Amino acid sequence: MKKSLSILLPASLAVSSMFSSTGVVAAETLVDAIKNGKVGLDFRLRYEDVDQAVIAAPDRDATAITLKTRLNLLTDDYKGFKAFVEFDDTTALKDDYNSTTNEKVSKSVVIDPEGSEVNQVWLAYSGIPETTLKWGRQRILLDNQRFVGGVGFRQNEQTYDAFSVSNTALPDTTIFVAHISNVNRIFGESSPGGDHDNSTHLFNVAYGGWDAGKLSLYVYDINNDDAAAFSSKTGGMRFAGTTGMFSYAAEYAKQSDAHNNPASYDASYYLLEGGVSVEGISVSLGREKLGTDGVKGRFITPLATLHKFQGWTDQFLGGGSGNIAGGIVDDYLLVKGKFMGVAWLTNYHQFEYDSATAAASAKSDIGSEWGVSLTRKFENYSLSLKYADYDADAFSTDTQKLWLTASASF
């Protein structure tokens, strides 16, 4: 694995030194901590079909059947210390798709490459009151994952080699700080873009002491050694909550280039969403804008769970930046509910450019997308169907995607 385990060696040495000084008794305690730990085993089988209207490539349609197997162990607590290790394997049972590493470049992309890797391995210490220190490869999910997430929908999760601190000493407040040295991206260890060396700092403060909702303030200083265009500094705030039958969310952020980024820009982001829930059915309307600074640059979200936003067909990944030239304004409608144990959701998105650039034509409409999902959970199992249809206007091409997923957790 490309440099990505370098941060883990000090953690391993720390564990060894912690127990070696007390001899046999400590070793027995360590064994007990492992014996009393919790083992997890998960399987996720997925069928994904991609249909793209590309006249120049009539055989571009793709089909993927993949199985993700996950095995993990969380040790019992010992004097405030816990350790966690998690292994993932993704196997392609049908690989008629471009995984970005299998050289099937004539096919549509499905970013579920085959491979096995350490998804997480960390050492945590909670001996300081109301504080948890964590060192190693870990999952980091902040707020709604719009800026920092794990892309959990894909078979290969995005995780971070990092040192993080979480503190809840102030009433109703969580302070989270992290230094990231490597981003383990969804493309896998076999891809040149599977690891991004970083010297990134995250700061997020969330206050939940109001009945009306939670307020988050954040600064994300991304310093990406391998993808200079991702280096950026973002500061913003988010408020989201519910009151009775009403739900709402508002967010605003400013971003500029940082560190080794050759661009020089300032761009903004905002989200406004309101909803109502009546007799188990929720309806929400929202507008999200990822802005631009003319041709100089655009607001990017390279650590986000991008699949969760701007439609499920992933038209606007922007090479992992989460935006395209000209920026994106997304007006959307979400309707969801539950019927006979089946959770259902449908959505509609209308996309427009934020501003005209050389890449954003004079035509303001980018395209539109609608989607629907059905999910049924029972005990340790779940089944889901998801479908999305993108109707291209000024950007990309007509695309339909279908997912059938079966999961089991033990």
Residue whose entry in the numeric block shows the structure tokens 């509609």: 348
Residues 308-341: pLDDT tens digits? 999 999 999 999 999 999 999 999 999 999 999 9
Residue 12 clears pLDDT 80, i.e. is over it: no
Position 1 scores a pLDDT of 41
Model confidence over 227-284: pLDDT tens digits?
999 999 999 999 999 999 999 999 999 999 999 999 999 999 999 999 999 999 999 9
- pLDDT for the residue numbered 195: 95
Mean pLDDT of the chain: 91
Q: Whole-angstrom distance between the N-terminal and C-terminal Cα of the chain?
A: 28
pLDDT of residue 56: 63
The neighbouring-strand residues paired with 90 are 68, 115
Q: What is the mean pLDDT of residues 29-44?
A: 90
CB distance 357 to 341 below 8 Å: no
Helix (H, G, I), strand (E, B) or coil at 15: helix
Give the model's pLDDT for residue 91.
97
Mean pLDDT of 125-154: 97
Q: Which residue has the tokens 């020089």?
A: 264
pLDDT band, residue 33 (cuts 50/70/90): confident
Range with lowest mean pLDDT among 2-6, 135-139, 182-186: 2-6
Q: Can you name the residues that pair with 123 across neighbouring β-strands?
A: 83, 135
- pLDDT mean over 382-395: 96
Of the candidate ranges 48-57, 360-369, 388-397, the one whose mean pLDDT is the lowest: 360-369
What pLDDT is stored for residue 9 in this prediction?
41
Taking the alpha carbons of 317, 318, 322, 324 in that order, is the dihedral positive or negative? negative
Helix (H) / strand (E) containing 173: strand 173-184
Tens-place pLDDT, residues 64-115: 999 999 999 999 999 899 999 999 999 999 999 999 999 898 899 999 999 9
What's the pLDDT band for 34 if we cut at 50, 70, 90? confident
pLDDT of 28 above 80: no
φ and ψ at 12, to 5 degrees? -65, -40
How many CA atoms does the CB half-sphere of 270 hold within 13 Å? 3
Domains of the chain listed by start with CATH number: 8-409 (2.40.160.10)
Give the contacts of 207 (CB within 8 A, at least 6 positions apart): 172, 173, 214, 215, 216
Q: SS3 sequence, 226-237?
A: CCHHHCEEEEEE
Can you name the residues that pair with 328 across neighbouring β-strands? 290
Q: What is the pLDDT of residue 32?
A: 87
pLDDT of 18 over the 80 cut: no
DSSP lists the bridge partners of residue 243 as 246
Instruction: Return d(Cα 356, Cα 294) in angstroms, integer.
Output: 8
C-alpha radius of gyration, the chain, whole number? 22
Q: Would you say residue 11 has pLDDT above 60?
A: no
Which has more confidence, 24 or 210? 210
- For 35-47, what is the mean pLDDT? 95
Q: Residue 15: which pLDDT band, with cuts at 50, 70 and 90?
A: very low
pTM higher than 0.85 for the full model? yes
Residue 288 is predicted with a pLDDT of: 98
Q: Is the pLDDT of residue 381 over 80?
A: yes
Amino acid residing at 294: G
Band the pLDDT of 31: cuts 50, 70, 90.
Answer: confident
